[in-house]
Amino acid sequence: MATQPVPGAFGVLPEAQGVAANAIGHKAEFERPVTEDTLNDETDTNSSEQNEKHVTDLARTFTNASVRNEVGEHHNPFTSTNPTLDPHNEKFNARAWTKTLVGITSRDPERYPTRTAGVAYKNLNVHGFGNPTDYQKTFGNYPLEVGGWINKLRGKGKRKIQILRDFEGLVRSGEMLVVLGRPGSGCSTLLKTISGETNGFFIDQDSTINYQGIAAQQMHNDFRGECIYQAEVDVHFPQLTVGQTLKFAALARAPNNRIPGVSREQYAEHMRDVVMAMFGLSHTINTNVGNDYIRGVSGGERKRVSIAECCVGQSPLQCWDNSTRGLDSATALEFVKTLRLSTNISGATAIVAIYQASQSIYDVFDKVAVLYEGRQIYFGHKYKAKEFFVNMGFDCPERQTTADFLTSLTSPLERIVRPGFEHSTPKTPDEFAAAWHKSADRAELLREIEEFETQYPIGGDHLEKFKEGRRAQQASGQRIKSPYTISVPMQVKLCVTRGFQRLRGDMSLLFAGIFGNTVMALVIASVFFNLEDNTETLFSKGALLFFAILINAFSSALEILTLFAQRPIVEKHTKYAFYHPFAEAIASMICDMPNKIGSSIFFNITLYFMTNLKRTPGAFFTFILFGFSCVMAMSMFFRSIGSMARSLPEALGPAAVIILALIIYTGFTIPTVDMHPWFRWINYLDPVAYAFEALMVNEFSGRKIPCTQFVPRGGLYEQLTIANKVCVTTGAEAGSEVLDGDVWLRVNYGYERSHIWRNLGILWALVVFGCVVHLLATEWISAKKSKGEVLLFPRGKVPELASEANDEEGSLDDRVNTNTLAATATHAAAGEAPPSIQRQTAIFHWQGVNYDIKIKKEPRRLLDDVDGWVKPGTLTALMGVSGAGKTTLLDVLASRVTMGVVTGQMLVDGRQRDSGFQRKTGYVQQQDLHLATSTVREALTFSALLRQPKTTPAHEKIAYVDEVIKVLEMETYAEAVVGVPGEGLNVEQRKRLTIGVELAAKPALLLFLDEPTSGLDSQTAWSIIALLRKLANNGQAILCTIHQPSAILFQEFDRLLFLAKGGRTVYFGDVGERSSILTDYFVRNGARPCGIEENPAEWMLEVIGAAPGSTTTVDWPVAWNESVEKAEVRAQLADMRRQLIEKQVETDPTSLDEYAAPMGLQLQTVTQRVFQQFWRTPSYLYSKTFLCTSSGHSEPVVLHLHALDYLRKLGAADDAAFRHSTLSV
């Protein structure tokens, strides 16, 4: 039976953990030592309802007593002045805060009803349609896709790919499940399936998912925000600060049943401050979140922002997909412990996929699921998983964590079989799945699922309780079935506030838009400056109004790009049930008004008065009104296109063609009176045409325009009176010296004075129509999702994999499996790299490095007196908490910083770095940035040709590329296209390519690597570190930042440079055998001893107080500065400066060149790559082709017919005007 957990838990409550966990409903069937962690896991399925009530009441009584003893019974954590409850105070105690909140909410269960959502699934099968490999599309082979499209329309050609097969599982409320498996094994798909993120794949009809009495469809529709999926990628508005981002999330999910006296604003600010204090983000409250292109918080801090954003929502069922990526090991452990506390106290359910899980992290969970290429090979209690496979015949090496052992079973090259079991252990995914299906553990799991479904039938009592809990949180007036907490007006208001915050965060966009439009107005006005009021300037004024309305109309064209840039963020927030997508769309339109109004006013005023248009107040304001109306109409048009398209190419191609049609059929190039019927309908739908007609009528209607040329003229005709002459302009009346503007408009363009206000109504009707289409499309059409792990190859270069490629793998599917391609010899670290790989001899050393910058005019030191060196043949780790300055130090050492002040000595063999330093080093960035259209080999060749010395022959550079491919074990996908994530190389392959691009440059000094294992599973991380070890053994000098090394990975490094907050050194020296030198240093200076089974990397972060929740009495940077080890480092640096300066200096003058390749080779190589890029981007080239052919086939026909009409006319001036307007298009 379910317990009645308390909502809103953020903190430590060890006294209540045991009693809360015991009522969850799971019983351990084995004995193990009782610790704080293990106590959380002990539960009892067979408890009677009476016993459960007794346990729950006992927990509440115990909690209330504890609250009274520690902080007092009547403290309100949102308003209390108690320092332990104030997240701004250094004495803030998350445990005390949680206890206080629990004590208040548990006393009134009617006001604070609970919501819990465990999940049970069986016969879960998930499939998609596509191919694991595909051909790269080019301009030449793209027409061959027509056959595939026809087959799709006929329902043929679809290839079904089974992603998940026969999955079963049960995660009760209050439990935590860790999902283990290599990338591509189905971990993300399982989490997406449970959370309802099924875009791009399908769940079989006979699959059942029971959310504790709630059907899957109802959970994902009516209770969407109660079951969330946190993706691996961090997407946020980069212009917002961390505080603004989290406060927005708190306001969007702020419940209506708050503690009395606490306003919504107060609640949101306090919850924001609490989660920021919990995740160590308090110092970033006013720092922009940023992204890969906009400076903001560090990558680890950005990941913590994503985690905090989810936690603020307090969803009862949470699916976390590799959310520890980019976090240091201590912070990752603290994150998992926070989930543990939340599940214990609030009854939430957490399902977490982790690729690199330490033993400490693994021990926090209740259950584990192990996946192997879409098969489930184990599901059960965490402590029984290892025993299950050991009994099967596999062996777990010493110091290997349980998670690494379980994951290694899915790699034929990693798993170890005990002697005597060589022929009985399973080898293929199907054999592993068959062994699981026959096991007693699975039978027990099926029995528990059956009991769960009996206890929580679909549509039963728990559904009503869940509805009551959800209803209590919803704002008054909100629909009962709405998944959102706040009402639509509140959502719009919240999004508008955020929109203006984004605008203030980057005012340059607003000013750039206004400035650009003003400059454009000055340029156009200079061409049509101070036009006279006569018939000679009629066409010029028409052209002026034509250009003016076009600039107004298409100033919003870039809104398509803006929509797609923010679309992933909006879709994520919609999944979290923060707001309707149309609420953000409305807010975006409102927040864009300052830019639209400012740009329109500055552009139109400048243009109007410089060109001497009609100088009356009515005409001026009418000009402004129609210019702005056209801006709004076209803005809605572009927004509608952007929201209806599912990808950017789908939007830009049609938009370009439509824009051309709108320009041609505006009514200036081809007047409406001359349009042929089969194209006239375009003019009726063209908002620019209505605005142009209004501007023409506004300028010329009601005016008597002096005529400058009459016929007949010349010779004796000049003696004729005006009564015998006629103005040459079409529409003129014989014998008149002036031209009636209304007649001229009617005869030449078919425009009427009465149309002006009709056109205004039509324009705003189009605005409303476009707005409605945009809002509906935003709400119902989602962005196009990737196909999954699909490798792309140029035609004719798809590798043929023999089915018997590996005896252990058995029969493979008739497809190229990306895991199989990546599963190369990861234990090759002991082998030697080919002798042709560049060996390094120079020593890079630095002393007293400082880096100072100014943030909002306040000085801040990011690096403080850092010493160190990197010698050839050594692998040096650079570690520290997130935000300690690891990447900053790499950037400074690699001469990549462009702002701030750098001081200190950075020397190569005792000499200052020369101008060629950067090209002599390799820098592997954390982000894998590659040209998507290139193949792996082409990317490496490009780097080799341009970055190796120009004295090296081209054939040697290309041969060196082959060596790099062999060293990195990329032969199987060397011809594969880089592509984009999901349709191209996978995560590991991209990381190998990033390393390869730098190796192909033959760095003569050293290799920098920034987080090379971030986001990789433990086996892939090991293969990358083993590769680095191999390179170091071959003489490479390597400096590598790393966040979450296991004990085995950490042991591969020779030296460690450890930084604390503020870029201060904690340790620099050898690691030692089994990390003995490192641990001895810390123990001598006051740290507790490192346990035999502990990971030294995690232990180190804990003892210095860098892990959240840990404390220390030792100022470790000060201890280092006063240590003997620091003095020895300084002495060695002094020796290096004296001794290395005597080494022979390279005499080649080209070594000082900034670029290795001459300009001619650069131009040739880059031009070739650009041509390849365009050729391999058929969507771009065919859009251009269609744009040209559509206008080149339809418009010449029309223009030719009109030309024939004009030839029959005698008005030479109008004929010239027609030719001029035709050429302008």
The pLDDT, as a whole number, for residue 1192 is 55
The pLDDT, as a whole number, for residue 298 is 81
Residue type, 7: P
Q: Quick one: average pLDDT of 737-763?
A: 92
The pLDDT, as a whole number, for residue 800 is 57
**1157, part of any domain:** no
- Residue 178 pairs in a beta bridge with 352, 368
- Residue 642 pLDDT > 80, yes or no? yes
Q: Quick one: average pLDDT of 335-339?
A: 88
Domains held by the chain: number: 3
- Residue 358 pLDDT > 50, yes or no? yes
**964, part of any domain:** no
Q: Quick one: average pLDDT of 719-742?
A: 86
The pLDDT, as a whole number, for residue 73 is 45
Residue 22's pLDDT band, with cuts at 50, 70 and 90, is very low
**What are phi and psi for residue 632, nearest 5 degrees?**
-65, -40
Choose one of 1122, 1145, 1168: the last residue of a domain. 1145
Q: Quick one: average pLDDT of 332-358?
A: 87
pTM of this prediction? 0.79
Which ranges of 365-428 would DSSP assign to H, the alpha helix? 382-392, 402-408
**Chain CA centroid to CA 933, Å:** 21
Write the pLDDT tens digit of every residue in 376-412: 999 999 999 999 999 999 998 877 889 989 999 998 8
Residue type, 417: V
- Residue 893 pLDDT > 50, yes or no? yes
The pLDDT, as a whole number, for residue 414 is 83
Question: In CATH, what number is assigned to the domain containing residue 1012?
Answer: 3.40.50.300
Q: Which token pair is 328? A: 């240091």
Q: Quick one: average pLDDT of 1109-1120?
A: 84
The pLDDT, as a whole number, for residue 148 is 66
Q: Quick one: average pLDDT of 1092-1100?
A: 83
Least confident piece of the model among 329-343, 493-507, 1046-1060: 329-343
Specify whether the CB–CB gap between 385 and 406 falls below 8 A: yes
- In this structure, are 721 and 839 located in the same domain? no
SS3 970: coil
Q: Quick one: average pLDDT of 340-348?
A: 84
The pLDDT, as a whole number, for residue 1056 is 94
Residue 837's pLDDT band, with cuts at 50, 70 and 90, is low
- Sequence-separated (6 or more) residues with CB below 8 Å from residue 1081: 1067, 1069, 1123, 1125
- Residue 56 pLDDT > 60, yes or no? no
Write the pLDDT tens digit of every residue in 905-947: 999 888 888 777 887 888 988 888 899 899 999 999 999 999 9
Least confident piece of the model among 180-189, 202-211, 577-586, 817-826: 817-826
Specify whether the CB–CB gap between 1027 and 1058 falls below 8 A: no
SS3 1157: coil
- Sequence-separated (6 or more) residues with CB below 8 Å from residue 845: 868, 869, 870, 906, 907, 1133, 1136, 1137
Write the pLDDT tens digit of every residue in 1041-1074: 987 788 888 889 999 999 998 899 999 999 988 8
The pLDDT, as a whole number, for residue 409 is 92
* DSSP assignment of 851-904: EEEEETTEEEEEEEEEEEEE-TT-EEEEEESTTSSHHHHHHHHTT---SSEEEE
Choose the most confident range, by mean pLDDT, from 326-330, 639-643, 908-912: 639-643
- Residue 587 pLDDT > 70, yes or no? yes
Burial per residue of 574-601, b for 16 or more beta-carbon CB atoms within 10 angstroms, e otherwise: bbbbbbbbbbbbbbbbebbeebbebbbb
- Residue 812 pLDDT > 50, yes or no? no
The pLDDT, as a whole number, for residue 158 is 65
Q: Would strands 983-984 and 1055-1060 be described as parallel, antiparallel, or unpaired? A: unpaired
The pLDDT, as a whole number, for residue 818 is 41
- Residue 62 pLDDT > 50, yes or no? no
**676, part of any domain:** yes
- In this structure, are 645 and 542 located in the same domain? yes
- In this structure, are 774 and 834 located in the same domain? no
Burial per residue of 333-363, b for 16 or more beta-carbon CB atoms within 10 angstroms, e otherwise: bbbbbbbbbbbbbbbbbbbbbbbbbbbbbbb
- In this structure, are 748 and 831 located in the same domain? no
The pLDDT, as a whole number, for residue 439 is 94
Write the pLDDT tens digit of every residue in 314-324: 899 999 998 88
- Residue 838 pLDDT > 70, yes or no? no
**What are phi and psi for residue 170, nearest 5 degrees?**
-145, 120
Write the pLDDT tens digit of every residue in 421-452: 888 899 999 999 999 999 999 999 999 999 99
SS3 794: coil
The pLDDT, as a whole number, for residue 365 is 96
More confident residue, 9 or 1077: 1077
**642, part of any domain:** yes
Write the pLDDT tens digit of every residue in 212-262: 999 999 999 899 889 999 988 889 999 999 999 999 999 999 999 888 888
- In this structure, are 557 and 657 located in the same domain? yes
512 CB neighbour count, 10 Å cutoff: 12
- Residue 463 pLDDT > 70, yes or no? yes
48 CB neighbour count, 10 Å cutoff: 10
- In this structure, are 500 and 634 located in the same domain? yes
- In this structure, are 1047 and 1116 located in the same domain? yes
Q: Quick one: average pLDDT of 885-910?
A: 89
- In this structure, are 866 and 719 located in the same domain? no
- In this structure, are 743 and 835 located in the same domain? no
**1106, part of any domain:** yes
- In this structure, are 566 and 667 located in the same domain? yes
Q: Quick one: average pLDDT of 82-86?
A: 84
**1101, part of any domain:** yes
**845, part of any domain:** yes
- Sequence-separated (6 or more) residues with CB below 8 Å from residue 1066: 880, 1058, 1059, 1060, 1104, 1116, 1117, 1120
* Dihedral angle, C-alpha 974, 975, 979, 985, nearest 10 °: -40
Specify whether the CB–CB gap between 191 and 353 falls below 8 A: yes
Which ranges of 49-124 would DSSP assign to H, the alpha helix? 49-70, 94-106
| Domain span holding position 629 | 488-780
The pLDDT, as a whole number, for residue 496 is 97
- Sequence-separated (6 or more) residues with CB below 8 Å from residue 236: 245, 289, 291, 302, 305, 306, 309, 569
Compute the radius of gyration of the chain from its Cα atoms.
Answer: 35
SS3 230: strand
Rounded distance, CA 83 to CA 80, Å?
A: 8
**1135, part of any domain:** yes
The pLDDT, as a whole number, for residue 967 is 77
* DSSP assignment of 125-190: EEEEES-SEEEPP-TTTGGGHHHHHHHHHTT-S--EEEEEEEEEEEE-TT-EEEEE--TTSSHHHH
Q: Quick one: average pLDDT of 1190-1204?
A: 51
Write the pLDDT tens digit of every residue in 114-156: 888 999 999 999 988 766 666 778 888 777 777 666 766 666 6
- For the chain, the straight-line distance linking the first and the last C-alpha, in angstroms and rounded, comes to 75
Rounded distance, CA 1164 to CA 1160, Å?
A: 6
The pLDDT, as a whole number, for residue 1145 is 63
Q: Which token pair is 142? A: 């793209």
The pLDDT, as a whole number, for residue 1108 is 58
Choose one of 66, 87, 106: the last residue of a domain. 106
Choose one of 89, 106, 123: the last residue of a domain. 106
Q: What is the mean pLDDT of the chain?
A: 82
- In this structure, are 753 and 831 located in the same domain? no
Q: Which token pair is 104? A: 């208040």
Q: Which of 698, 226, 271, 685 is nearest to 463 (CA)?
A: 226
- In this structure, are 869 and 776 located in the same domain? no
Residue 18's pLDDT band, with cuts at 50, 70 and 90, is very low
Least confident piece of the model among 481-495, 624-638, 761-775, 885-899: 885-899
